[in-house]
Amino acid sequence: MHGIANLSFGFKQCIRLLSVSFFLMFWTMSALAAGACSPDIGKATLNEYNYQLNFSEVKRLNIATPLTGWKVRVYSGVGTYLQQNFPTTEQCDEYYVFSFSTSPKDADIVLLDANDDVVDILRARQSFPVSGYYSPYPTCSFISPPTDLLINPAQKGVDRSPDGVGPWRNTPGTGSNSFQTRCGGNTPGGATTDLRVTKTASSGSILLGANVTFTVTVTNLGPNIASTLIISDSLPAGLSYVSHTVTSGTYSAASGLWTLGTLAVNGSQTLSIIANGASAGTWTNIATVSADNPDSNTANNTASAAVTVASSAPGSFNAFETSTAANVTTGVIKTKIAGSAFNLDVVAISGGVQASTFSNTVKVELLGNTTTGIGLDGNNCPVSSTVLQTISSAISGGRSTVSFAAVSNAWKDVRVRISYPTVSPTVLSCSTDNFAIRPASLGSVSISDADSVTAGTARSLNNTAVSGGNVHKAGRPFRMDTTAINASGITTTNYSGSPGAMLTVCLLPGTPTTCTLGTLAPGSWAAASGVVTSTTASYSEAGAFTMKLVDTSFADVDVADSSTTERYIESAAINVGRFVPDYFSVITNNTPAFKTFNDATCPSRSFTYIGQSFGYTTAPQALITARNFAGATTQNYSGALWRPTPAFAYSSVSGTLDVSLVTVPTVTPNNNGTGSENVAITDLLAYVRNLTTPQSPFNASISLNMSVSDTSEAGVAGNGTISTTTPAIFNGTGSGIAFDSGNEFRYGRFRLGNAFGSELLDLPIPAEAQYWNGTVFVTNSADNCTMITATNVTMGNYLANLSACKTAISISGRLSSGKSNLKLFKPGAGNNGSVDVTVNLGAAATGQTCVAPLPAAQQAATAANQLYLQGKWTGTSYNQNPRVRATFGVYKNANELIYMRELY
């Protein structure tokens, strides 16, 4: 059986409710079978069920889904329900409200499609357990799983939260304060939201007749669901409507209204409008959002985007310094500093002149390369580059200033590219001038080595003290490091330059000597992420100095238009040192000569005795030069820095030299990195005399090696010693240092013979110099230089009637052909007897002597100091003075004849 009643049906457009009349079918039969799961689940949902005001609300989630033939049933028992059908005329509405004559508090509310398949279901009960009215209960994958909802009879009804998609709840509030409204979201009237609208344009500038796309996005930032959203977006006069798309809701180009209904917390929806540039000018499109809810932040309810419509495009563009004169189309761009913002002017050009009628937005880009020499295309742009920065900038009257943000890195070759329109450009030009963006400075400069001759990082070279500390040898490689940084102190990783060294102050040596700056060769630099390193740097001089690293070539693209101050990259000044010579060169500086017989007053000398000391007529002198590794003189090695220590060595081809009377040479500076090493003119040498075996004559060949070294720095690890690479060798022409009057050496002795004669006559004593000829001792007839004085002769052991000073020694001058004129004065009658005569050839004398003419008393004998003439007379060594006996008043032969004179 069934009944008929008059009911009303309503639907919402914005917040309007329309009532219509139709028949209600009241079913009590249970023969109607339950439907299957609808394929349209999720395209519409039951949203509200009000059992006080007797209506049920359906929310359409997909407006493209046709609802013809759909229906809502309210089951109050098994097989017993009220049903209302959707209108047969399609509506694009978000909410559908169905009024019933009664809405039981215990009910199954079911949304069915045209095939009676279940789209959504709700079971509301005043108490549990629940017995199903719509049976069997569907097990479909609903948008929000159906729940057996225990209702609060005091409330008006139940609803979903969030609106249309959330779980069911007892509607908050009662009476007029209920959140539940017909044709509206399930949001309390006092629940605030924060709606934000944004708008962008696909291009800031277009040509007349071109299209631009505006994108409007509305977002609910919460904290509550927003209801009944309306976005107003009407195109300005200079733009004409082409088409639109929405992600939800409807948009009317005629009214400019986009209606959305509700918007969940954190939900967003988008409207895209394509417009055509109908009139030249700059046009602004504005969008504003509103809703039923109070908005906690109205500042973000409006958004706008502007587009400039140009009547025609210029022929080209250019960029140059802002100081460039007005109404010109070419100019230069000077070197810029990484990390610092800068401005340039962009000019539009038509027919070779400034296009003063052009006012539009262009895209301006910086194109960078880390190397120079990149080819250019037909637009004067590099064929390969990196886009460093992109700016949309409005040009007014054909020329405007563009502000560029700081470019953090360094670039050797940069051009400005200007494009119009900003999207799908038809005009594209690069600046006629290129420029560099250089580092602001070179920082973290370090100078170091491994040791005094090797580059490394073990030791810092910042020593400015005169002594002590680390030193490095001039001309030897050391290490330099520096980091290129921008104006903010950040490393410019693109930098791979080759800075040079600018030496500003010479620190060592100080006064009174002159300090000369040398040459610092940086060597080869290796770059890694903005840090450059050289392990082949060298400095040519000695001492210490102040320097800066300066890169003069990084910005060479700007040589023609930028000053050195603008182009050069410099470091702060640092102290570097201390440098010392790499080595000494010592060379002969004169031709020395030995003094034959060590007696320049003897004109006929031709030899020297073995054991006899001899010196120089001209003493050796060597020239010392402190040099760097390349061999150049280190002039600063002077003053307090001059510290060479002399060394020398004599050598002889024959014999053994005695150098005990040789002193260490002196070193004299010239205060220009050079000096002299000087042998003392008073130095004496001698050949060692063998006291047991006579030596055969030989020609002397004596050479002298002279060198210097500086060991004053060796106390610091890694410093080492400054040495002479090749000593000065004094060797004549290869046969040794010359002698001024003969280089023969002879083994000699001074021989005396016994004498006897009349006491009435002077008594000659045989005396001569002899030398060993290799076989025997023979008279040294070449000796015209030996001199024995009377006091060198000791007289003693007087016998018979001869007493002291009854006779006296007479000797004068040098030997003559090896012979001496030694004699005793006649003692006179009655003074017969003998005396022992000894020549004191040693270094010290003993005994007494009487020197002619006859003295009144004896005197102390003196030493001849001619040990080289001592002989082997009674012992085994040639270290004895000659001694003989002189006898007065004895016969020569057995006939005892003392004196004979022939008379005629």
Domain end: 685, 710, 745, which one? 745
Shared domain for 733 and 788, answered yes or no, is no
Q: Residue 894 falls within a domain, yes or no?
A: no
Question: Which pLDDT value is given to residue 88?
Answer: 53
Other C-beta atoms within 10 Å of 875: how many? Answer: 10
CATH of the domain at 160: 2.60.40.1260
Side chain identity, residue 316: S
Q: Does residue 228 surpass a pLDDT of 90?
A: no
Question: Which pLDDT value is given to residue 904?
Answer: 57
CATH of the domain at 255: 2.60.40.1530
| Higher pLDDT, residue 514 or 369 | 369
Domain end: 543, 560, 580, which one? 580
| Per-position DSSP letters for 630-672, written without gaps between them | TS-B-TTS-GGG---EEEEEEEESSS-EE-TTPPPPEEEE-SS
Number of domains in the chain: 6
Q: Residue 1 falls within a domain, yes or no?
A: no
Percentage of the chain modeled with pLDDT above 70: 91
Predicted confidence (pLDDT) per residue in 316-346, tens digit: 999 999 999 999 999 999 999 999 999 999 9
Tell me if 60 sits within 8 A of 95, measured CB to CB. Answer: yes
- Residue 298 phi/psi, 5-degree rounding, is -80, -10
Shared domain for 575 and 588, answered yes or no, is no
Shared domain for 624 and 645, answered yes or no, is yes
Predicted confidence (pLDDT) per residue in 63-121, tens digit: 667 888 999 999 999 889 999 998 755 444 677 888 888 889 899 999 999 999 999 99
Q: Residue 80 falls within a domain, yes or no?
A: yes
Q: Residue 629 falls within a domain, yes or no?
A: yes
Shared domain for 77 and 141, answered yes or no, is yes
Domain end: 580, 606, 621, which one? 580
Side chain identity, residue 430: C
Shared domain for 136 and 224, answered yes or no, is no
Shared domain for 434 and 446, answered yes or no, is no
β-pair type (25-27, 525-528):
unpaired
Predicted confidence (pLDDT) per residue in 8-29, tens digit: 333 333 333 333 333 333 343 3
Shared domain for 620 and 741, answered yes or no, is yes
Closest C-alpha among 178, 219, 226 to residue 198: 219
Shared domain for 224 and 285, answered yes or no, is yes
The range of the structural domain enclosing residue 464 comes to 441-580
Shared domain for 424 and 456, answered yes or no, is no
Q: Residue 188 falls within a domain, yes or no?
A: no
Shared domain for 112 and 49, answered yes or no, is yes
Taking every pair of Cα atoms in the chain, the longest distance, rounded to a whole number of angstroms, is 217
CATH of the domain at 610: 2.60.40
- Full-model pTM: 0.64
Question: Which pLDDT value is given to residue 527?
Answer: 97
Q: Residue 900 falls within a domain, yes or no?
A: no
d(CA 442, CA 450): 23
**Which burial class, exposed, middle or buried, applies to 687 when counting CB atoms under 10 A from its CB (0-12, 13-18, 19+)?**
buried
Shared domain for 92 and 154, answered yes or no, is yes
d(CA 547, CA 545): 7
Predicted confidence (pLDDT) per residue in 651-674, tens digit: 999 999 999 999 999 999 999 999
Q: Residue 563 falls within a domain, yes or no?
A: yes
Q: Residue 184 falls within a domain, yes or no?
A: no
Closest C-alpha among 557, 197, 218 to residue 372: 557
Shared domain for 285 and 392, answered yes or no, is no
